[in-house]
Chain A
Amino acid sequence: DQQVKQNSPSLSVQEGRISILNCDYTNSMFDYFLWYKKYPAEGPTFLISISSIKDKNEDGRFTVFLNKSAKHLSLHIVPSQPGDSAVYFCAATGAGSYQLTFGKGTKLSVIP
């Protein structure tokens, strides 16, 4: 049973437009959520996170929104740049847990 789901395996966006990556979770015990970006032949790198006590967190061009009632979060990238082309993983964890549960990833392609 997949507890973190990224239903879109891929997404293509024009440079300068907004990229919206979505993630759904089923485990009510999750209270901290993270996004990681992965380029080919590299390990994932941390992008942005959000605690369940918040519904929005911004860092430059990246904003994560959390809708707890819908168990849904999204990552917005504005404006999208070609260098943003990568696989984006949504991850979640809960209090007292020492592991992250990842989604399967969404491959973002930003077209110049």
Chain B
Amino acid sequence: KAGVTQTPRYLIKTRGQQVTLSCSPISGHRSVSWYQQTPGQGLQFLFEYFSETQRNKGNFPGRFSGRQFSNSRSEMNVSTLELGDSALYLCASSGTGNIGGELFFGEGSRLTVL
């Protein structure tokens, strides 16, 4: 069974640009979550989608957005990039409708903003 796949794995952008990251969940999983990992803040919740609906959003500015498609694949977008957006962005999928089930994480997309 294929795991959670995130693309691209690494990318470099400059301030002011925008970026789109993609996540393919485990087959059959309908819940997809996104987390940002930075050395100083650990893993911070960005948003969660279930059946194309955003059910929860973390405390991030509106420059961070996401969406989920009918096949459960998800994308997140960050506009007007800032240096502080440099981080590892992790996608996770869950096979249950609630968060009580474990999350399966991808390897992440490492974004560097110059």
Instruction: Give the one of A97, A99, A102 with max B CB within 10 A.
Output: A99
Contacts of A101 in B (CB 8 A): 45
- Interface residue A19 (Cβ < 8 Å from any Cβ of B): no
Within 8 A of B (CB), among A89-103: 89, 91, 93, 97-103
- Interface residue B85 (Cβ < 8 Å from any Cβ of A): no
Closest to B88 in A: A43
Chain B's interface size range is 20 to 34
Contacts of B104 in A (CB 8 A): 46
Alpha-carbon distance between A33 and B55 when the two chains are bound, in angstroms? 20
* With known contacts A98-B48, A99-B33, A41–B107 Cβ distance under 8 A: yes
Tell me which of A32, A44, A93 contacts B90 (CB under 8 A). A44
Which DSSP category, helix, strand, loop or mixed, fits chain B's interface? Answer: strand
Closest Cβ of chain A to B88, distance in Å, is: 9
Is A100 a contact partner of B56 (Cβ separation < 8 A)? no
Tell me which of B45, B90, B100 contacts A43 (CB under 8 A). B90
Is A98 a contact partner of B50 (Cβ separation < 8 A)? yes
- Interface residue B43 (Cβ < 8 Å from any Cβ of A): yes
* With known contacts A43-B107, A104-B42, A97–B102 Cβ distance under 8 A: no
Within 8 A of B (CB), among A72-112: 89, 91, 93, 97-105
Contacts of B50 in A (CB 8 A): 98
Is B100 a contact partner of A32 (Cβ separation < 8 A)? yes
- Interface residue B70 (Cβ < 8 Å from any Cβ of A): no
- Interface residue A49 (Cβ < 8 Å from any Cβ of B): yes
Is A34 a contact partner of B102 (Cβ separation < 8 A)? yes
Within 8 A of A (CB), among B33-49: 33, 35, 41-45, 48
Is A45 a contact partner of B99 (Cβ separation < 8 A)? no
Known: A43-B4, A99-B33. 17 other contacts (CB 8 A): A32-B100, A34-B102, A43-B90, A43-B92, A44-B43, A46-B102, A46-B103, A46-B104, A91-B43, A93-B99, A93-B100, A98-B55, A98-B99, A99-B56, A100-B33, A100-B43, A102-B44
Smallest CB-CB A-B distances: 9 pairs: A43-B105, A104-B42, A46-B102, A102-B43, A99-B45, A98-B56, A98-B48, A98-B55, A93-B99
